[in-house]
A and B are shown apart, each in its own frame.
Chain A
Amino acid sequence: MVARAPSYLKWLNSLVLIGFAWLAILIELTPLNEEAKTMLAPDLLFCVAAFLVLRRPSATPAFLIVIFGLARDLLGGGPVGLGALALVAAIECLRALGEFLSRRNVFFEFGAVAVFSLLLIVLQTLGLLITFSHTPPLDQLASRVFGTILAYLLIYVFFRWVLRVRGEFAADNRLPRKAA
């Protein structure tokens, strides 16, 4: 069951998504020299979208996710469209699990994010394989997944305890207030 929030609040939440998703893309693109070389940049856009879709699903529309995925694909120089498709698939799966996860321990959430960050990479690799494109080495892909899981912990801490973003599910006792 989802508590209905006023429309202005929904737009405000969407603006939060827009702002942080754009920031996530910019941070991903920042060249950090040796650090970037030794450990690939995590998928921060996925982390931000995953956190928000589990707490503010109504303010995290799929079309916005696709738009940001496309922007990231275009700016990053990778396969255009494939990253966005994989991202929206993973986020929609998480959206479907949102209410279930809100009633469970937070470790279930980390587990689900880890599984879907892996799915994200698998989908992209499959997309490249079936179109006879080159795929990156496994160690780089594994490093990306590992980096994303670690980054999600930081994103969780930042949004949950610094920005105090709470869930909108009624079962989630983190947002007991009725919005409208």
Chain B
Amino acid sequence: MASDRGDIGTEFGKLIRRALAVAMVIVCIMLFALWRADNPRIERMRMALADWAVPSIELTSKPLASGADMVKDFENFTRVYEQNKSLRQEIQRLRSWREAAQQLERENAQLRALNNLKLSDRVGYIAGEVIADSGSPFAQSVLINIGSLDGVRDGAAAVDGEGLVGRIVGVGERAARVLLLTDFNSRVPVKVLPSGRRATLSGQSADAPRLSFLDTMTGVAPGDRVTTTGDGGVFPPDLLVGNVAVIGDSGARIQIRADYERLEFLRVLRYRPSTEIDTPGGLVIPNENVTAAPQAEPAE
């Protein structure tokens, strides 16, 4: 009798498990459909889970990262002579750059004073640590340990010491997801300098993203700098992205300046574009206080 009851219990348990599995499979299919439709609920779910998982991710990543660092330190130790030599060369090179930068800074200050140029928009930033990466070929993103409580906003640019890394696509309270420039879904408006040609940087899940919508290759050469345009007001203008690496039949590809091999800390920019007055109607001046604008004296 007891055995029969046990069998019935086991069978019932199996049935429940199967039903649960089928329900979960249906949920997966629905979630995949939502993901494909770019539904914002998916990103909210991601960030809710990430917020919950941040402590355990940090707990796990620290000892593993320390282990990896130890291996790296040992490798560096074995190459200390070569590194010393290359660092000396780097110092020499940077000294000459410092001189050039100081000279340019002085010149820039003088020009601003002379022309009364408007200063660029205020760009603040907040730094965070990379605590997780996607670890799969199906996505190119990283998780950082700062979120909405720290002032991170959706769409903000993330940079490292060298250049643009990506943009924030999901914000939790204590974590945020950065979509790297190499991801398929990454699109950033850029310009190629010195020609000034505008294009869209499209991720290809490879190291070198492609320049799309570049009307012509004239004036574009390998080594040209690629910076953000600031179009759309999401990213600040003139953020360094990289250099044109190769120009082929399928278009130009760029070498990203940010060091993707050592993404440890990122700066998330808090960019506030200046208020723009697009139309004359946007300019509100009280009628009684309107005075004639001083006429510019003709140049002699």
Contact = CB atoms under 8 A, between A and B. Distances in A.
A41 B206 contact: no
Interface string B256-275: 00001111100000000000
B137 A33 contact: no
A77 B185 CA distance: 12
Given A31-B133, A31-B263, A78 B72 contact: no
Interface in A45-103: 61-63, 66-67, 69-71, 74-85, 88
Contacts of A81: 27-33, 35
Contact of A33 (B131, B205, B262): B262
A134 interface: yes
Contacts of A70: 24, 27-28, 31
Nearest to A142: B137
Contact of A140 (B33, B50, B205, B260): B205
A137 B205 CA distance: 7
Interface in B185-208: 185, 205-206
A141 interface: yes
B148 interface: no
Contacts of A36: 133, 135
B135 A34 contact: no
A62 B25 CA distance: 10
Interface string B96-119: 000000000000000000000000
Contact of A78 (B27, B134, B260): B134
A63 B24 contact: yes
B245 interface: no
A74 to B, nearest CB: 5
Interface residues of chain A: helix, strand, loop or mixed (majority): helix
A169 to B, nearest CB: 17
Contacts of A173: none
Given A78-B136, A140-B137, A67 B262 contact: no
Nearest to B259: A33
Given A33-B262, A37-B261, 8 more contacts: A30-B65, A30-B132, A31-B142, A41-B135, A63-B23, A70-B24, A74-B46, A83-B138
Enumerate the 4 nearest inter-chain pairs by beta-carbon distance, A residue then B residue, closest first: A81-B32, A62-B21, A41-B135, A29-B132
Interface of A: 4, 22-23, 26-37, 40-41, 43, 61-63, 66-67, 69-71, 74-85, 88, 124, 127-128, 131, 133-134, 136-137, 140-141, 143-144
Interface of B: 10, 17-18, 20-21, 23-25, 27-36, 42, 45-46, 49-50, 53, 56-57, 60-61, 64-65, 68, 72, 130-143, 177, 179, 184-185, 205-206, 260-264
